[in-house]
């Protein structure tokens, strides 16, 4: 389950008494463990950029392993099957929108780190999908990330409603359950439909090309760290593309780097709801490259990251 959007930045820790601050920290700790401890199934609504979609989810925790199935209920049938954060099969266009759901939820939260990056506050109690919830807000301490408001199920600690907000308190994304039960799904509910196509797993031992080995960012917002680096060949162009994934504990963004090989590709910047996509040209000793940053981060932050990408030795990264 993806931890999406949160609430206004109006009520920060300035007004929180110590007891409530401690309670918010306790809920944050429960959130970090909930997805690895509880099986559940239900239906949720996803709102982004003015459009809505409805999805069913089956999430099984068994013998320390997590298996999950997501099915979009609107329009053409689309689904994703994931096991321990890896996508096993997918249909339609669902993967680009929800493919990172499990991976995000599965990470172990570093509560102290999140407190350094966000002001965490207890906002009160409410109900979602007929279940009592605790409401906590995470207001960013800088301009390089968005704020969250999370509605955590009091029984399990699962985030069953989440709001993503910009610096003006405007809603960018909503994720909200309409039904939820903690009954573990059975094998039939976790089995993919016939049209779910297997996803080939990247070969971790694959040799990287010389032009794609040592990419890094000279500047990152405080708290973001590189958590993975892979190289794959574009099936159409056969060009090697380097993919880097960065994470601050709640938010992730990706950087894709590929050689231009004389192609005339203009710089671009696109905002789709909370997702910024920025493409910039880079001149390197290996030739002209194209760096593309995609993630739920402010546009200015994405542009600065794209222009900071370098190939070569990764010296100490500058912080804001």
Fold of 13-198: outer membrane lipoprotein receptor (LolB), chain A (2.50.20)
pLDDT tens, position by position, 201-228: 554 434 444 444 578 899 999 999 998 8
Answer whether residue 120 shows pLDDT above 70: yes
Any idea which of 14-23, 68-77, 166-175 has the lowest mean pLDDT?
14-23
pLDDT tens, position by position, 261-315: 878 888 999 998 899 999 999 988 878 899 999 999 999 999 999 999 998 765 4
Q: What is the pLDDT of residue 272?
A: 87
What count of Cα atoms within 13 Å lies in the side-chain half-sphere of residue 170? 9
pLDDT tens, position by position, 235-266: 677 788 899 999 998 899 999 999 988 788 88
- Homologous superfamily (CATH) of 210-311 is MucB/RseB, C-terminal domain (3.30.200.100)
Q: CA angle at residue 57 from 56 to 61, to 5 degrees?
A: 165
Q: What is the pLDDT of residue 229?
A: 87
Q: Report the mean per-residue pLDDT for the chain.
A: 82
Residue limits of CATH 2.50.20.10 in the chain = 13-198
Residue limits of CATH 3.30.200.100 in the chain = 210-311
Tell me which H or E stretch contains 304.
Answer: helix 299-308
Segment 19-40 mean pLDDT:
86
């Amino acid at each position: 389950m993806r931890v999406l959007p949160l609430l206004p930045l109006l009520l920060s820790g300035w007004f929180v008494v110590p007891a409530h601050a401690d309670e918010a920290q306790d809920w944050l700790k429960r959130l970090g463990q909930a997805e690895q401890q509880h099986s559940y199934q239900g239906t949720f609504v996803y709102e982004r950029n003015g459009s809505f979609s409805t999805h069913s989810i089956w999430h099984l925790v068994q013998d320390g392993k997590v298996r999950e199935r997501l099915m979009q209920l609107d329009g053409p049938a689309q689904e994703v099957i994931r096991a321990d954060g890896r996508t096993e099969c997918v249909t339609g266009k669902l993967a680009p929108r929800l493919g990172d759901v499990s991976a995000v939820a599965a990470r172990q939260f570093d509560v102290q780190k999140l407190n350094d990056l966000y002001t965490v506050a207890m906002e009160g109690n409410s109900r979602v999908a007929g279940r009592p919830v605790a409401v906590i807000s995470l207001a960013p301490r800088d301009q390089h990330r968005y704020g969250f408001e999370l509605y955590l199920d009091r029984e399990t600690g699962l985030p069953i409603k989440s709001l993503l907000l910009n610096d003006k308190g405007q809603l960018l994304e909503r994720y909200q359950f309409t039904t939820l039960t903690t009954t573990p799904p059975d094998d039939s509910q976790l089995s993919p439909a016939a049209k779910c196509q297997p996803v080939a797993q990247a070969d971790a031992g694959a040799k990287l090309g010389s032009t794609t080995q040592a990419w890094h960012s000279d500047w990152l917002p405080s708290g973001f760290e590189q958590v993975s680096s892979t190289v794959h060949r574009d099936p159409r162009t056969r060009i090697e593309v380097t993919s880097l994934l960065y994470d601050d504990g709640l938010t992730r963004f990706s950087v894709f780097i590929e050689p231009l090989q004389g192609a005339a590709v203009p710089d671009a910047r696109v905002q789709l709801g909370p997702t910024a996509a920025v493409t910039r040209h880079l001149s390197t000793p290996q030739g002209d490259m194209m760096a593309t940053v995609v993630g739920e981060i402010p546009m200015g932050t994405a542009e600065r990251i794209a222009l900071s990408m370098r190939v070569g030795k990764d010296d100490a990264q500058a912080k804001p």
